[in-house]
Each structure stands twice: as C-alpha cells, then as structure tokens.
A and B are shown apart, each in its own frame.
Chain A
Amino acid sequence: MGIPGVPAAVAMGLIELGKLGLQVWFQAARQAGKTKHEMDQMYNHESVRFDSHHPDTWEDVPDDAKTEGSDSE
C-alpha cells in the first residue's frame, strides 16, 4: 500500500517536513502584531502546554516485530 511511483518512506519524509514547516511558520504568524498583554497570554498558554508534554509522557514507539504490516513498504 502506498502512492504509486513514490516510495512510502519518501512520502512519509515529505509529509513530516511539510508538517514541521507549517508548525514553524504558523506559530511565528500567530505571534505577529500581538500586544504585550496578548503575548503574555499566549506565553502562559504555551507554557502550560509545554509542561504537559514532558518527554516522560511520550510513550515508546512499538518494536518493529509488534506492529502488523510494518514491512509493507
């Protein structure tokens, strides 16, 4: 299963790059033109969000053997 003519790993890499690019730009755009008060509010919101995503909360990626269809590329 995949995109005809595009290896699955390449498609996956492109999608990940696109997502990262969007996140980087989108946040810079959100911050554009904010007043000091608005910036403080955004900072507090992002601070709480950041704390909730400590690396300890990132569950491990399943072992290759445990995932069905992992070698379908």
Chain B
Amino acid sequence: MYSYRRNLLIVVLLSFILVLAISFGCIPQAGKGQEIKSLSEMTPKEKVTWMMSVYSAQAEDYKRMVKRPDLTNAQKAILRNKKDVAKKVWPLINTYRTYVNAGAVPTREVEEEIIGLINDLTVLILPYVTE
C-alpha cells in the first residue's frame, strides 16, 4: 500500500513537472507541430471555453472526492475552499460567456477577476504543500 501511494505521488509529481516544462515551451508539442496559445493570445471564445473546461474539471474532481468516506481534515479544508471559489467564479464565467455570446468583448476587469480566482485555487492549496 505504501509502495503504491509512493509510486502514485512520484507519477503525479513527474506529470506536474512535465506540464510545467511543456507550458513554458521547453518541450515541443509532439506530432502536430501546433502551438499551444497562452491565455493572452486566445480569443474571448477560446478563453471562455478554457475557463469553463477548467471549472468543470475541478467540479467533477470535487464531486468525486467529496463522496470518499476516508477524507482527512486537510482534504476537507481544500474541498471547502474549492467550493467557496466555485461560488465566486461561476457567475463571473457566466457573465463572460454572456458577453461572448452577444459578440461583445468582455471587460478586462471580469477577465482578471476570473483568472485571479483560478489562481486562488493554487494559492489555497499551497499551504498544504509547504507546511
């Protein structure tokens, strides 16, 4: 069991490092030669699609986790924080989507607030990594 968990942690850590390396352009995207756009290079529609997808992935992860009977207090704290962030970010993404659907350019303030909240998820998790 210990060995399985240790291996799982190593895989997750290596994946995270790989993602960072790819995100920062250290490794070319294999095969297609297509460049991954940074958020600032995306169109409003691409941005809101990305925002909705990250939000939904976090929601699905939360809904899987919250059903586990063996949650530790640290896990519960992270999940509570995620739900608080979700309550704030959902209406903002929805507003952003309304702008995009109307063919309007969303305000920079709304965009910055959403990105800030997604970053908050990382900030909320970090204390558990650095404790």
Contacts and interface: CB of A to CB of B under 8 A. Distances in A.
A26 to B, nearest CB: 8
B48 interface: yes
Chain A to chain B: the 6 pairs with minimum beta-carbon distance, closest first: A13-B128, A33-B34, A9-B74, A53-B59, A13-B129, A50-B52
Nearest to B42: A31
Interface residues of B, number: 67
B58 A23 contact: yes
Interface string B48-90: 1110111111111111001001111111101110010011001
Contacts of A15: 9, 12
A54 interface: yes
B53 A46 contact: yes
